[in-house]
Structure 1
Amino acid sequence: MAITANQASAKQADDINAAPTRLFSLDALRGFDMFWIMGGEEIFHGMAKATGSPFWGAIANQFTHPDWNGFHLYDLIFPLFLFMAGVSTPFSVGRELEKGKTRRQLLLRVIKRAFILVLLGLVVNNGIKIMPIAEIRFPSVLGRIGIAYMFANIIYLYSKERWQMLWFCFFIIGYWLLLKFTSAPGFPIGDLTMKGNFASYVDRSILPGRLYLGIHDPEGLFSTIPAISTGILGILTGILLKKGDITQMRKVATMAVAGVIFLVLAQIWNLDFPINKNLWTSSFVLHVGGLSLLLMALFYYIIDVKGYKKWSFYFRVIGMNSILIYVSGHFIKWDYTTEGFFGWIGQLVGDPYNIVVMAICYVMVKWLFLYYLYTKKTFLRV
């Protein structure tokens, strides 16, 4: 018994002292997130169309966005990616600090990365062509990630953990107060409709070009304010995961408990400030933050704690080139490629399940492309 106890004690000490240098779970979760954007959701839409089943229809509906208030699982993809960008910060920016890089050097790198993401967002939105400014859509998914990532990282570089928590609260509470006590001209105070809310009004007033919905843009500038908190939450999670004086199981428990608390608080706040991805409301930040924490806890527990890594290889291949596959559709005609290689399979299967088979083939073609890059150790780093 004494030997067993000593061995267990030594294992626990190793678990505490060994701060991770890379999270396999983070690559896998990023790949899991991007899987749905690269075509995974179309498999379920195809099943719904092919079967006409209410069951598959309900699942497929979760891979759409609500018109305004409310939440579907598809709404999690974007904030989860931003959350994970934050998680990686202590392992990338933090490591460079430990190596002796100055905050100024890292600040310039963070700003450069944000600038590149904004430019890539413009390309994704508008393609590579000259057009009148009035026709350009400036807000974008990558642009929001870049701006929110930049401000969250500046806070990380120049403040301690406690202050980062305060900044997290400041952005979501401040945003709530701003929208509760303001509105677009001609609308009642606190109006949260698409046309009447203050955030959309500010975007209409100051942003050049066109907005995605004419009077509103879901990636608008003003609603990027609470998105900074999503990035900060990821950073705080990364700090927790990097700590060497806490056991892995305690990290899992902390993330899981925090995730549940966030979900409860989100539902309470939802009564006054509806969960709304379009406005990235504060209740939305807590809701998707809670789900992100629970997913991170699950993936971390299975992959990094228990050591079950092989099953996640499929997702890690995607996760290590996530930005590349996101922008690739503007340079590669994936539909044409899929039809060229596997169109015969769709014809062989025939209606109605050919749409499901072709959706699977579409994802497979993209994955094989990423796998080839993976074997060549070719990754797009921003």
Structure 2
Amino acid sequence: MTTTTPTTQRLYSLDALRGFDMFWIMGAEAIFHSMAEASPTPFWQAIAGQLTHPDWHGYTLYDNIFPLFLFLAGVATPYSVGRDLEKGTPRQQLLLRVIRRGLLLVLLGVIYNNGLVLKPLAEIRFPSVLGRIGLAYMFANIIYLYTKQMGQIIWFVALLIGYWLLLALNAAPGFPMGDMTMEGNFASYLDRLIVPGHLYKDIHDPEGLVSCIPAIGTALLGIYCGNLLKHGTMSGSRKALQMLIMGVVSLILAQAWNLVFPINKNLWTSSFVLQAGGVSLLLLSLFYYVIDVLGYRRWAFFFVIIGMNSILIYMSDGFIDWTFTAQALFTWLLQLFSEPYAAVVLATMVLLVKWGFLYFMYLKKVFLRV
């Protein structure tokens, strides 16, 4: 892990959208949940509902935060790995770099889950958000290194259909073929057999090993968009339009597939890949068009600050008590408000303290890269 200055060849919209994505999990969702509790009107309740994961099947906008981050890691691939490949860096050297980064993210995920305390193997949770990103990123980049674009498309289709067939034609012992319950689905059953330590819900882990298979497709979809943006000969407006159309088509296909293979983030079903991918495409199309095509960048600076140090702020929650820090700095302000609105103010201050920390890192030109 190193601290470096950011590369100038990355899309400004890429860091902005990554920052917008992280904005929600670094504190924005807590503001809206607090507001829904303080003012339980249909408007605030509806927003809070979209910022809560479904128990099992179904989809909310909050479900898109994780796959959007992985999608954007794929978009960045042609600008990082692809750039070095074009410069003549040997594939084997890039392969080792990709594997190292993927495994380092897995390690960081284990640390995030369990801290730096030594525990018995049975008490360690190995699957994680960063681990899912690391593995899916790693395999998608290996595919990118050794196949051309048509090969990557074939891999994308094969992964989604293969995962569908895996779950549709199998089930945990004692359950009917194609069972999609938490107890009976085949992916969770395989995780219970092969994943060491303990699973997040004992019988299932939303970041399990088997469901990494379709997550590779999420990264490959991002790589396709990265190639389009970096190497496409059409105008920026046409690129944005193509991603918009792809997003709409992806959403339609997701709803159709949902009829036989439910949209489910917990299992990262193939229909979920298309649903989350469609929303990610629409967001990237919008951010790219407004920021990189039209040139309206100033408004996005707030999000860019977050996006340039996204891993740092994500990991910081495991080691810094941000709520305590915000309370210490803004006790005077919190005393001006009574409950339940004091909770809204506190959640807002936590977000601003985190952003202030990232802005300080930006000014010092310190950026955490894996």
Q: TM-score if structure 1 supplies the norm length?
A: 0.94
Query: Per the alignment, in what secondary structure is the counterpart of residue 267 of structure 2?
Result: coil
Of 346, 353, 370, which residue of structure 2 is paired with 1:358? 346
In structure 2, the residue matched to 1:42 is 30
The equivalences for 1:62-77 within 5 A come to 62-77=50-65
Of 269, 277, 282, which residue of structure 1 is paired with 2:270? 282
Of 145, 149, 164, which residue of structure 2 is paired with 1:176? 164
Of 298, 306, 319, which residue of structure 2 is paired with 1:310? 298
Query: Per the alignment, in what secondary structure is the counterpart of residue 258 of structure 1?
Result: helix
Give me the whole-angstrom Cα distance separating, in 1, the residues matched to 2:18 and 2:58: 24
Is the 1:88–1:238 Cα contact (8 Å) retained in structure 2?
A: yes
Is the 1:122–1:140 Cα contact (8 Å) retained in structure 2?
A: yes
Q: Does structure 1 residue 110 correspond to structure 2 residue 95? A: no
Of 120, 129, 136, which residue of structure 1 is paired with 2:108? 120
Of 144, 149, 157, which residue of structure 1 is paired with 2:137? 149
**Structure 2: which amino acid aligns with 1:322?**
S
Deviations 1:47-69 (A, max 9, x none): 10111212201110111110000
**Structure 2: which amino acid aligns with 1:66?**
P
For structure 1, list consecutive stretches of 5 or more residues without a partner in the other structure. Answer: 1-19
Of 345, 352, 374, which residue of structure 1 is paired with 2:333? 345
**Structure 2: which amino acid aligns with 1:288?**
A
Give me the whole-angstrom Cα distance separating, in 2, the residues matched to 1:328 and 1:22: 24
Using the TM superposition, give the Cα deviation of residue 99 of structure 1 relative to its aligned residue in structure 2, in angstroms. Answer: 1.3
Q: Does structure 1 residue 190 correspond to structure 2 residue 203? A: no
Q: Please identify, of 346-355 and 66-75, the stretch whose mean Cα deviation from structure 2 is larger.
A: 346-355
In structure 2, the residue matched to 1:10 is none
Give me the whole-angstrom Cα distance separating, in 1, the residues matched to 2:132 and 2:340: 39
The equivalences for 1:71-90 within 5 A come to 71-90=59-78
In structure 1, the residue matched to 2:249 is 261
Give me the whole-angstrom Cα distance separating, in 1, the residues matched to 2:244 and 2:147: 25
Give me the whole-angstrom Cα distance separating, in 2, the residues matched to 1:373 and 1:317: 9
Using the TM superposition, give the Cα deviation of residue 245 of structure 1 relative to its aligned residue in structure 2, in angstroms. Answer: 1.7
Deviations 1:274-293 (A, max 9, x none): 00000000000000000000
In structure 1, the residue matched to 2:3 is none
**Structure 1: which amino acid aligns with 2:117?**
K
Using the TM superposition, give the Cα deviation of residue 352 of structure 1 relative to its aligned residue in structure 2, in angstroms. Answer: 2.0
Give me the whole-angstrom Cα distance separating, in 2, the residues matched to 1:331 and 1:180: 41
The equivalences for 1:9-20 within 5 A come to none
Of 219, 234, 237, which residue of structure 2 is paired with 1:246? 234
In structure 2, the residue matched to 1:58 is 46
Using the TM superposition, give the Cα deviation of residue 159 of structure 1 relative to its aligned residue in structure 2, in angstroms. Answer: 0.2
Give me the whole-angstrom Cα distance separating, in 2, the residues matched to 1:281 and 1:352: 39
In structure 2, the residue matched to 1:7 is none
Using the TM superposition, give the Cα deviation of residue 330 of structure 1 relative to its aligned residue in structure 2, in angstroms. Answer: 1.6
Q: 1:44 to 1:103 in 2, by over 3 A?
A: same
Query: Per the alignment, in what secondary structure is the counterpart of residue 330 of structure 1?
Result: coil
Is the 1:90–1:238 Cα contact (8 Å) retained in structure 2?
A: yes
Give me the whole-angstrom Cα distance separating, in 2, the residues matched to 1:155 and 1:87: 14
Using the TM superposition, give the Cα deviation of residue 344 of structure 1 relative to its aligned residue in structure 2, in angstroms. Answer: 2.2
Is the 1:83–1:233 Cα contact (8 Å) retained in structure 2?
A: yes
Structure whose alpha-carbon radius of gyration is higher: 1
Query: Per the alignment, in what secondary structure is the counterpart of residue 380 of structure 1?
Result: strand
Give me the whole-angstrom Cα distance separating, in 1, the residues matched to 2:41 and 2:233: 51
Using the TM superposition, give the Cα deviation of residue 244 of structure 1 relative to its aligned residue in structure 2, in angstroms. Answer: 4.9
Deviations 1:181-215 (A, max 9, x none): 00000100000000000000000011111000010
Of 284, 309, 313, which residue of structure 2 is paired with 1:325? 313
In structure 1, the residue matched to 2:5 is none
- The 4+ residue runs of structure 1 with deviation greater than 4 A are none
In structure 2, the residue matched to 1:272 is 260
Using the TM superposition, give the Cα deviation of residue 247 of structure 1 relative to its aligned residue in structure 2, in angstroms. Answer: 1.0
Of 177, 198, 203, which residue of structure 1 is paired with 2:191? 203
Using the TM superposition, give the Cα deviation of residue 335 of structure 1 relative to its aligned residue in structure 2, in angstroms. Answer: 1.1
Query: Per the alignment, in what secondary structure is the counterpart of residue 368 of structure 2?
Result: coil
Is the 2:232–2:239 Cα contact (8 Å) retained in structure 1?
A: no
Is the 1:343–1:358 Cα contact (8 Å) retained in structure 2?
A: no
Calculate percent identity across the aligned residue pairs: 65
Deviations 1:69-125 (A, max 9, x none): 000111000000000000000000011011110100000000000111000000110
**Structure 2: which amino acid aligns with 1:372?**
F
